[in-house]
Structures are given as structure tokens and as C-alpha cells.
Amino acid sequence: MKLERSCGVVLHPTCLPGPYGIGDLGPAAHNYLDWLAGAGARWWQVLPLNPAGPGWSPYAATSTFAGNTALVSPELLLQDGLLEPSDLADMPQLSPFKVEFERVVPFKGTLLQRAFQRFSRKPPAKVESAFATFKEECVWWLSDYSAFAALKRAHHGASWHDWPEDLSLHRPGPLATWAGRHQRELLFEDFCQFLFFSQWRGLRAHARSLGVSILGDVPIYVAGDSAEVWANRGLFQLDPRGRPLVVGGVPPDYFSETGQLWGNPLYDWDALEATGFAWWIARLRATLELVDAVRLDHFRGFAAYWEVPAGQKTAIKGRWVPGPGRRLFDAARAALGHLPLVAEDLGVITEDVVALRDGLDLPGMAVLQFAFSPSPRSTFVPYQLRHNTVVYTGTHDNNTTLGWYVGDASEAEKDYVRRYVGTDGHEIHWDMIRLALSTVADLAAVPHQDIAGLGGDCRMNTPATAEGNWRFRLTDWMVSEALRDRFAELVWTYGRSGA
């Protein structure tokens, strides 16, 4: 992927402001695109858009093909005649500062049920036609996902491993019998997915009209309790009951002394290769229909991945196992053509990872919060950066820049960054933004929290912790004209606006 000199902002749609307790794909998202374009940002980087899994993590999604229906906009449903104002009369008081998933998700589910009931009684002709087309185009993944979601709901959220055996093992006869008895529940899941994809496509069309591209995110792994593992057990290293034999993670690193034990089932790469990597090709194709480019999370796992025996309490007792390497990407390019990918190459990066990244001519990543260890010097220190790179002040896994400087950075790091930038540190977030924009890296990406100068209580995620993540939300002052114009001045100064 060849990048032009540009800049972007990192913000997941759940973080957008609005009255419904969670950001969504409605007016606030369209307004945010206008804000980005006004700032000269040419990229909006989002996290995975799939249904959030345990801990509300978009990186532990219950499907890699389905969309997160908590992002469906009630205001757009009102415009389409699928809700009436009276449907919102019982809306609870929801925080404008953080996403209270435990309250928001049931409330949004109730609104979706009301929209489905109204559609079932008297479907608007335009919506009915579009829904029929959607089901026909997406049946290849939608039927399994809707069955999975409806079964999970019927079993009160229990993992598919704990369903009755005939259903948990995805046996066609019993599944067909169950589906015949629950057609309305399946149709509801289809309908919710239709709403998500319709609203997202409208948002993406607006982005294109403004010259803003969207950088999406594909985690290397999928959750064990997901539609994809349930329906494709032969592609993963599982026991006969579908439990993982080995799980994914990373060894000890700068995020955690005991490593990160993600717990995802690992692929059976031989089985995937025997199909020509068809599942992975379908995954990339589906994602690239929604976004303009994809950040491949944990890229190093394609060269070699950390395998931990199931049942371990930490990720320490694992081993490196060779991944599919270039064979996967050559197959994907043969099927899909040019692949606009960014390699998330953070962590333990060895020569084989660098060779794979550079052999595919993919941009890698650099994070300025990791750049200022005085000795040994980091490869992320700005004078060592190269053009074919995406440089970040921090990512969704980092503290905010202010939180890092105040709470995480050592005194030696603080001293070095002040010397490097020529600052007293009183506006360290703007210093680091300026530094990122000034580098030779083709793309500079800044979390919106840094533009707003927010502290560590506003970080998006703390790796290796299960609770309290993914809840940050913008409030109106954080998308003010003053902040936009200050950011825009720096974007223009460092030649990243394209103007």
C-alpha cells in the first residue's frame, strides 16, 4: 500500500457524542466527518466495527462479518419511518461522558425490536426492497450469523459450547428444525444487520464526498464464542467439543510483565491453506467493502505467532510457531488484487516479520510514546522513521499522551522528550502532535483524546485488563471549531492536508 503524505484521527464510532448513550452512525457521525475534513484530516481510523464481545471489546467480536447493531442510529430510524417519537419516550437517562454498555445495549435492543415490529406491520416500500437485496447479497455469511445470534439469545447469552449438542456442533438437520420454529427471530437478526450496513454505507458515501478515507481494523484472531468458530470448527485447533487446544496471546512485553493471554482459538493454517485461504480472503473482501484500507492487527502473527496451551493462567508458557507468511497474502492478492493494508508491527518484531512486511511493501507503525527511552534508543525516535510508516502519538491501547507524560513516562523519558521537542512540557499533547505531523512518515494519526488534551481517565483501553475499557465518549467541546482550527493549522504547516 502506497500512502500519500497525510494525517488522520483515531476515534471509534462508539465514542461520538449524542443523546443515546453511545456514539452511532447518525448525525453526529456525519458531523464528525465534516469536522475532520475541516481540519484537513484525510483519514478517519476506526476500531473493528463488529458486534462487541466479552468486556465490550471490538477485538473479541461475536462475528467478523456482522456489524455492531448498537451503532444503529435512532435518529435515522425516525427519518426512515421505522420509529416514532413515542418509541423514545421511555429512554433512560444515559451518561454523555462514557458508554454505559450494561444499560445502553438493552435500550438499543428495545428500539431495534420496535423498528422491526413497525417494519413487519407496514414496511416502507423502499426499505422492504433494500432489505430483500441485502439478504440476497449477504446470505453467504448472514444465515450463520443470524442463527448464531438468535440461538445465543434463546440460550440467555450462553456460549455456543454450552448449547445442546446437536446445535452446538452445527448439525444441519437439527439446525434446520430449530430455524423452522424460529423464523421470526432469525428475520429480526437479518433486519438489524441490514440497518447497520445501510447506515454505514450512507456514512461512507459522505466520507468519500469530503475526501476522507476510512482506515478499518481486522484483528488477526476471532473470538472462540463467535459465529465464525461455531460454523467453521475445522479451520481452528479445537477438540471434538469445540474447545480450543491452544490459544493466542503475546509474551511479556512493554504492556505486561506476564504477557497478554487473549484466549482466542488459533487457526489450523494447514486446513486454511488447503482451501486456498478462502475464509481469510472472504474476510478481507468483506472488510474492504466497508472501508478504504485495513490495519492488520498483530501482523507479526502472520510470520510467527505465540501459542499457549489452553488452561494456562498467563501467556508466559508459550512458544513461537511459524505462521502462513507470504502464502496467505499472495493468495489474497491473486483473488482481490491490490490490498490496501497497514501492518500493525508493534511488540516483539524479529527479522522474519520485517522481511514479510517489506516484501509485501506494507507500511508499518511507530508510536511516539515508545520513542523516548534515552538508552538504548528506540527505533521509533523520529529521526529514525521512514516514509512508509504510520506514526501515532499513541494508539487505542496506549494511555493518552497527557496521561502517559504525567503518569507513565519515566523521568528520563520526560527529560529526553523535552530536549527533543524543545519544550517545557506544559502542552505536551500539542508538542507530540506537532512532532508526529512533522516526521517523514507518510501518515500521521492522532487519537482524538490527544487533540482535546485529555488525561489518562479518558484512554480507550488498558491491555491485559478486562474491565472499564472502550467506554470513552466525546462531549461537544472536544469537537469545537477552536480545536479543529488549531489542529488544521498544524496539518497545513506540515504539508499533510493535500492542499
Cell 440460550 maps to which residue? Answer: 155
Q: What is the pLDDT of residues 152-182, one digit of tens each?
A: 999 999 999 999 999 999 999 999 999 999 9
pLDDT at 1: 73
User: Angle between the 278-288 and 326-336 helix axes, to the nearest 10 degrees?
Assistant: 60
pLDDT at 348: 78
% of the chain surpassing 70 pLDDT? 99
Q: Is the dihedral of CA 329, 335, 339, 344 positive or negative?
A: negative
Q: What is the pLDDT of residues 406-415, one digit of tens each?
A: 999 999 999 9
Q: What is the pLDDT of residues 481-491, one digit of tens each?
A: 999 999 999 99
How high does pLDDT run on average in the chain?
96
Helix boundaries (H) for 211-361 = 227-231, 269-274, 278-288, 300-303, 326-336, 351-359
* Residue-range domain boundaries for the chain: 6-493
- The three-class DSSP label of residue 301 is helix
- The three-class DSSP label of residue 494 is coil
Residue 332 has pLDDT above 70, yes or no: yes
Beta bridge partners of 472: 98
- Which residue numbers are catalytic? 297, 344, 397
Whole-angstrom Cα distance, residue 339 to residue 296? 11
Mean pLDDT of 391-403: 98
The set of residues, in sequence order, having a beta carbon less than 8 Å from that of 177 and lying 6+ positions away, is: none
Residue 128 has pLDDT above 90, yes or no: yes
Mean pLDDT of 185-206: 98
pLDDT at 385: 97
Fold of 6-493: TIM Barrel (3.20.20)
Q: What is the pLDDT of residues 240-260, one digit of tens each?
A: 999 999 999 988 876 678 888
pLDDT at 276: 98
pLDDT at 499: 59
Residue 209 has pLDDT above 70, yes or no: yes
Cell 508458557 maps to which residue? Answer: 317
Residue 211 has pLDDT above 70, yes or no: yes
Q: What is the pLDDT of residues 347-365, one digit of tens each?
A: 878 999 999 999 999 999 9
Task: Judge whether 420 and 376 are in contact, CB under 8 Å.
Answer: no
**Better-scored residue on pLDDT, 215 or 122:** 215
Task: Give all strands of the β-sheet with 341-343 in edge-to-edge order.
Answer: 341-343, 293-296, 213-218, 43-45, 6-10, 443-447, 389-392, 364-367
In this prediction, residue 203 has a pLDDT band, given cuts at 50, 70 and 90, of very high
% of the chain surpassing 90 pLDDT? 93
In this prediction, residue 464 has a pLDDT band, given cuts at 50, 70 and 90, of confident
Whole-angstrom Cα distance, residue 318 to residue 166? 33
**Could you tell me how far CA 36 lies from the centroid of its own chain?**
19
Q: What is the pLDDT of residues 366-389, one digit of tens each?
A: 999 999 999 899 999 999 999 999
